[in-house]
Amino acid sequence: MPKKIPFHRRMMPWLFTLIFLVFAPILVFYTAGYRWNPKKGIVEKNGTVILDTNPRGADIFMNGQLMKVTTPATLQNIAPGTYTIKFEKPGYYPWEKTLPVVQERVAFANDILLWPIMEPGLVAEGEIQKVFTNQNYDFLIALKMLNGKSQLFRYERDKIAETINLKEAIEIKSVTWDRSGEKALVEGTASSTAKTWLLVADPLNFSELTPGKYHFERSEMAGMDAEYKVSLNSNGAFSKVRHDNQIVDSYDDLVIKKLPNEENLILILATNAEEGLILPRGQWQFFTVNNKEIVLKDNDKWLRISTETNPYTTTQATAKCIHELVSSREINYLLVQDNELLLWRNLYDPELLHRQSEPIVSAGWHPDGLNIYFATKTEIRMMDLDNRDGRNQTTIANFDEIKDVVLIDTDLFIAGKKDQKAGVWKLPLVKQNSISPLGALDNAINF
């Protein structure tokens, strides 16, 4: 008679089968990223968070908990929800933002610049009123008051390279460079009279232009006075041609005309005089023209006309200062209007970035296009343009008084007074040997 198999041995295959049927789906779901969410009482698929900073090696905190890795890092299988992410690195200001993690999605905080904690250094003394540079960041031009008159100097390679004394005291309102970055049109006032000057950077020269409307057509200066169209080419050749008194301004084959019995100016493509665009009321002149749009100005009023659409799309803005950022896809403008900062994208009305009670003294773009700097009368702040959970602001310097700020490569130059010393101050935004590429995913871990 065959020996009877014990009950527990007969049940073992069934037990293993049952365990497999129970745990195999759990294992499959687990490896696929599904987790039990005790807060919601449901099983849901998790998300991923990709983090990176420049410089790298920053500590990562999520909801106050220090992670076991530093940037760059990929945190996988993060339960959906809202997380406060913070980066800390010795010698740098911390960065913090609350971001959502969504199931089956990737949340990014990987283009984060950490600003170094550094003290500005004095590079030139004196009552500096204005600092500016060209689009190539080749040098610093500063306007200085000396014995009741103005002085211009060019600062490059850590020293003052050239200085010229002006015959009067002037105030600079705006500076527009030609495409080469060698010449600039400077608008401002002298003895309460509005004037325009032509600035040549090297050798330094500053000459007053006759009253009129001027702009650059690439690297050639062009303009209109009461009777003549004047131009100055890149070789320094000057020409003067009498123009039709109906023409207010021209740019290549475009003209702005004032027609009889019409209050509004007309923008006309000269090659097809039958087509014209009636402009909003104002004394418009050309600011710049490219293959996608036309930008006109009337003192503090600005008009963008996109030639990509049919009919043309127009948007308007009001700003005392306008700063251009050219990317491969489009041109964006940063606008400064009293106590407001605005972002002006092509085809869109200006977007308010920041508003405060006190005036904004100066502002400009960081080269990455993701951050801007701006100054109050006593503080310099950096602000990222990521509007998730608000735009981060970091105060990186305090002064007794700030008159102007400009960014050249990775250094801020500040015209102002600190510790009772007036002059131009230099504040690096990058520590030496701290630059590291963003975007690599070196640390991938699961939670």
Could you tell me the CATH number of the domain that includes residue 74?
A: 2.60.40.10
Calpha distance 184→334 (Å, rounded): 19
Q: By residue range, what is the domain housing residue 36?
A: 1-114
pLDDT at 330: 84
Residue with the two structure tokens 């500016």: 132
Q: How confident is the model at residue 44 (pLDDT cuts 50, 70, 90)?
A: low
pLDDT digits (tens, 9 = 90+) for 248-290: 888 888 999 888 888 899 998 755 556 788 999 999 999 999 8
In this structure, is residue 145 part of a structural domain? Answer: no
> Model's pTM, two decimal places?
0.85
Identify which of 170, 162, 118, 122 has the alpha carbon closest to the alpha carbon of residue 140: 162
In this structure, is residue 371 part of a structural domain? Answer: no
Residue 180's Cβ-side half-sphere holds a number of Cα atoms within 13 Å equal to 12
What are the b/e assignments for 111-135, b being 16+ CB within 10 Å?
A: bbbbbbebebeebbeeebbbbbbbe
Under a CB-based contact definition with an 8 Å cutoff, are residues 293 and 304 in contact? yes
Identify which of 286, 287, 180 has the alpha carbon closest to the alpha carbon of residue 235: 180
In this structure, is residue 101 part of a structural domain? Answer: yes
Share of the chain above pLDDT 90, in %: 65
In this structure, is residue 405 part of a structural domain? Answer: no
State the total domains in the chain: 1
Tokens standing for residue 81: 């929800």
In this structure, is residue 81 part of a structural domain? Answer: yes
pLDDT at 348: 93
Calpha distance 28→218 (Å, rounded): 63
pLDDT at position 21 over 90:
no
In this structure, is residue 181 part of a structural domain? Answer: no
pLDDT at 242: 83
In this structure, is residue 237 part of a structural domain? Answer: no
Average pLDDT over residues 85-113: 94
In this structure, is residue 57 part of a structural domain? Answer: yes
Tokens standing for residue 27: 């294992």
pLDDT digits (tens, 9 = 90+) for 195-215: 999 999 999 999 998 888 899
